[in-house]
Structure 1
Amino acid sequence: MTFRSTDKYIATEDLSVAVNAAVMLERPLLVKGEPGTGKTELARQVAESLGLPMIEWHIKSTTKAQQGLYEYDAVSRLRDSQLGDPRVEDVANYIKRGKLWQAFEADTKTVLLIDEIDKADIEFPNDLLQELDRMEFHVYETGETVAAKHRPIVIITSNNEKELPDAFLRSCFFHYIRFPEIETLKRIVEVHHPGIKEALLTTALTQFYEVRETPGLKKKPSTSEVLDWLKLLLAEDLTPADLKGDAASALPKLHGALLKNEQDVHLFERLAFLARRGG
């Protein structure tokens, strides 16, 4: 099993090496990077590239590690017992299987995505450490042990919102997705907007990188945002000359696709004011 770029996803050489190393070592692949750099999509493309089914577990701030294994619905069992339902005789009827259980019992190897693990509380990663290492867990209500039929390829994403425990980090193969250089970004754009004119693309990406590198920017626009911006530019049939616009205006055309908070918009408005005053 070897992962490379697909017709829908451009993977840099170091990212492909990281994926393949994690598969070979049978370790979870921990992928970090700023939001919008394709971490979640990477897992989907690994599954498609290797021809494997995928199971997605999207983490929220309220998610507990136990939910990935199973949940026991004691309330429903109590209610059914009061109603005389014969299902109460078998506790297994009230066990809801989590995403890890689904991956462990699958008849074929799967790709298991644990998405945005840093959203959960600090104990969440360590609570999964043993299960991901041993690839098995115990169901106390039924007394059974669930072991993986086929060890899944586990891909874990993080937006770096909080530090992860050292013990958990030691169990993973780590890769940080750096923001792509302009030539790599051009290849990514070609996948999503094939046939875009070179002059427009060069002008747009030059302006985009200038926005990203503006000092004081609170949230830098990401890969997903530049793709949305280019989609709008193409829909409006704008030219390179249109993008340059008024020399005194620091805000890019259709800037709402790139700038996502009022502080950054005000920053560019101040830059425009200073440019006019300087002129």
Structure 2
Amino acid sequence: MQARFQGTDSYVASDDLRVAVNAAITLERPLLVKGEPGTGKTELARQVAASLGLPMIEWNIKSTTKAQQGLYEYDAVSRLRDSQLGDERVNDVKNYIRKGKLWQAFEAGEKVVLLIDEIDKADIEFPNDLLQELDRMDFHVYETGETISAVNRPIVIITSNNEKELPDAFLRRCFFHYIRFPDADTLRQIVQVHYPDLKQELLTVALTRFFEIRETPGLKKKPSTSEVLDWLRLLLAEDLSPEDLQKDASNALPKLHGALLKNEQDVHLFERLAFMARRKG
């Protein structure tokens, strides 16, 4: 019977997220995870690997990343240089093949978790260029004439921040899950995993303040789970009390607001709200 993901002691996974992970494993399809930045998409792959006792291979996608790099790269320039120097390595083209993350996952001696992180950063053609390789779990190396096939089909987890639409043909091959921002009770559980000694009164006031900030109309970037954890860490480091976090008309900005508000427009928004509150007062 295949192992099932149940979450870990350090990662609070909702019921629907656990169902999504296990469904993707059963179907042997990539799990495409979307959600706001900071909601734990990348961490999910690490926790799945830890929960199932599997190694993890991580492929971080950038705007310049090409799909071919995930398979392999042929270093023709080095081979030409070595041929000019009379190096005997040039007689074997394999000396100039660099294995990509998919190749590493395919030839691993055991099942692995393969994370393709932030796929939406790459060119729009990037997902299409990986369709066949992720579907059939093999690819051809033209320079050597060999076909690389997965010894053990990896568990593939793909994350996206929704910066651009992904092609329908790619979506059809994935099991999809959107990680919603946690409600107050779930967020409290997440915080208690990271800061078990945090006093309940401070946690209640801090989370109330956090959700007030997050739900403020006109906010350009809502603070995420990772940002509230950073903020709470600072509150503990500064030994602030619940009273220190209480909202007042003179200053709508929370204490240590730089951990929560990440652009000047949002800071100015809270400054205007404080100004308006003072005028009404």
Please give the range of the TM-score, normalised by the shorter of the 2 chains. over 0.9
Structure 2 equivalent of residue 33 of structure 1? 35
Identity of aligned residues (%): 82
Q: Does 1:140 align with 2:145?
A: no
| Letter in structure 2 aligned against 1:58 | N
Per the TM alignment, residue 267 of structure 1 is displaced from its structure 2 partner at its CA by 0.4
SS of the residue corresponding to residue 230 of structure 1 reads helix
Unmatched 5+ stretches in structure 2: none
- 1:89 pairs with 76, 88, 91, which one? 91
Q: Give the TM-score of the pair, scaled to structure 1.
A: 0.99
> Please, what is the CA RMSD of the aligned residues?
0.6
Q: Deviations over 1:42-68 (max 9, x none)?
A: 000000000000000000000000000
SS of the residue corresponding to residue 9 of structure 1 reads coil
- 1:110 pairs with 103, 109, 112, which one? 112
Q: How does 1:147-158 map to 2 (within 5 A)?
A: 147-158=149-160
Q: Deviations over 1:230-267 (max 9, x none)?
A: 00011111111110153331101100000000000000
SS of the residue corresponding to residue 130 of structure 2 reads helix
The size of the alignment, in residue pairs, is: 279
Q: Deviations over 1:144-187 (max 9, x none)?
A: 00000000000000000000000000000000000000000000
Contact kept, 8 Å, 2:7 with 2:48, in 1: the verdict is no
SS of the residue corresponding to residue 218 of structure 1 reads coil
Structure 1 equivalent of residue 266 of structure 2? 264
Per the TM alignment, residue 72 of structure 1 is displaced from its structure 2 partner at its CA by 0.1
CA distance in structure 2 between the partners assigned to 1:70 and 1:171 by the alignment: 23
Structure 1 equivalent of residue 276 of structure 2? 274
CA distance in structure 2 between the partners assigned to 1:191 and 1:89 by the alignment: 56
Structure 1 equivalent of residue 228 of structure 2? 226
CA distance in structure 1 between the partners assigned to 2:78 and 2:7 by the alignment: 47
Distance 1:218 1:245, change over 3 A: closer
Unmatched 5+ stretches in structure 1: none
- 1:252 pairs with 248, 251, 254, which one? 254
SS of the residue corresponding to residue 112 of structure 1 reads strand
CA distance in structure 2 between the partners assigned to 1:157 and 1:37 by the alignment: 11
Q: Give the TM-score of the pair, scaled to structure 2.
A: 0.98
